[in-house]
């Protein structure tokens, strides 16, 4: 499974916004510069994030975007789904009873990949934007690397 640029950039931009807003709007140009993301691409993403109720825009001089609620109340899954980024690990259409084979059957590993997508969604739903900005997202990746190093000895 691969998360597209759209989902990754939306999360990066929202984290930047959460860190830099401090009760004042943040210009998208500033986020674009700090995160090295195209301004026009950010404008598209923030249009979707605004429709999804995650940000609000402030017009006029000193305008920009602000979070619509606290970072503790925004889940990473909310951000990804707001930019129309499905979490998909199979070739089949999400929610379709038809499989990815020509005869509409499901492959032998379909349930495995579908459950992986469910686990990814559950994990992203368990992590808040505040968790990311406060660097409280520490999984087992270090443990896995440590295990591989120990197992190789």
CATH of the domain at 20: 1.10.10.10
Q: Is residue 114 part of a domain?
A: yes
Answer whether residue 118 is part of any domain. Answer: yes
- Alpha carbons 84 and 127: distance in angstroms, whole number: 19
Q: In this structure, is residue 148 part of a structural domain?
A: no
3-state secondary structure string across 114-151: HHHHHHHHHHHHHCEHHHHHCCCCCCCHHHHHHHHHHH
**Higher-confidence position of 5 and 86:** 5
Q: Is 115 domain-assigned?
A: yes
- 18-69 pLDDT, tens digit per residue, is 999 888 999 999 999 999 999 999 999 999 999 999 999 999 888 999 999 9
Domain assignment of residue 143, yes or no = no
Segments forming the whole domain that contains residue 82 = 5-134
How does pLDDT run across 92-138, given as a tens digit for each residue?
A: 655 556 666 666 677 787 888 888 888 888 999 999 999 999 988 87
In a domain, 109, yes or no: yes
Is residue 10 in some structural domain?
Answer: yes
Report the pLDDT value the prediction gives residue 34, as an integer from 0 to 100.
97
Angle between the N-to-C axes of helices 28-35 and 5-20, in degrees from 0 to 180, rounded to the nearest 10: 110
What is the pTM assigned to this prediction? 0.80
Terminal alpha carbon distance of the chain = 31
Computed on alpha carbons and rounded to an integer, the radius of gyration of the chain in Å comes to 19
Residue 149 lies in a domain: no
Number of separate domains in the chain? 1
């Amino acid at each position: 499974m691969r998360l597209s640029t759209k989902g990754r950039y939306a999360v990066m931009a929202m984290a930047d916004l959460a860190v830099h807003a401090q009760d004042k709007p943040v210009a998208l140009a500033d986020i674009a510069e700090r995160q090295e993301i195209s301004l026009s691409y950010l404008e598209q993403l923030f249009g979707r994030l605004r429709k999804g109720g995650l940000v609000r825009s402030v017009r006029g001089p000193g305008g920009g975007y602000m979070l619509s609620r606290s970072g503790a109340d925004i889940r990473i899954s909310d951000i990804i789904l707001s930019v129309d980024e499905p979490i998909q690990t199979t070739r089949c259409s999400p929610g379709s009873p038809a499989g990815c084979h020509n005869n509409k059957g499901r492959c032998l590993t379909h349930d495995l990949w579908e459950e992986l997508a469910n686990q990814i969604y559950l994990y992203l739903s368990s992590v808040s934007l505040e968790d990311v900005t406060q660097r409280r997202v520490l999984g087992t990746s270090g443990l896995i690397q440590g295990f591989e190093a120990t197992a190789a000895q």
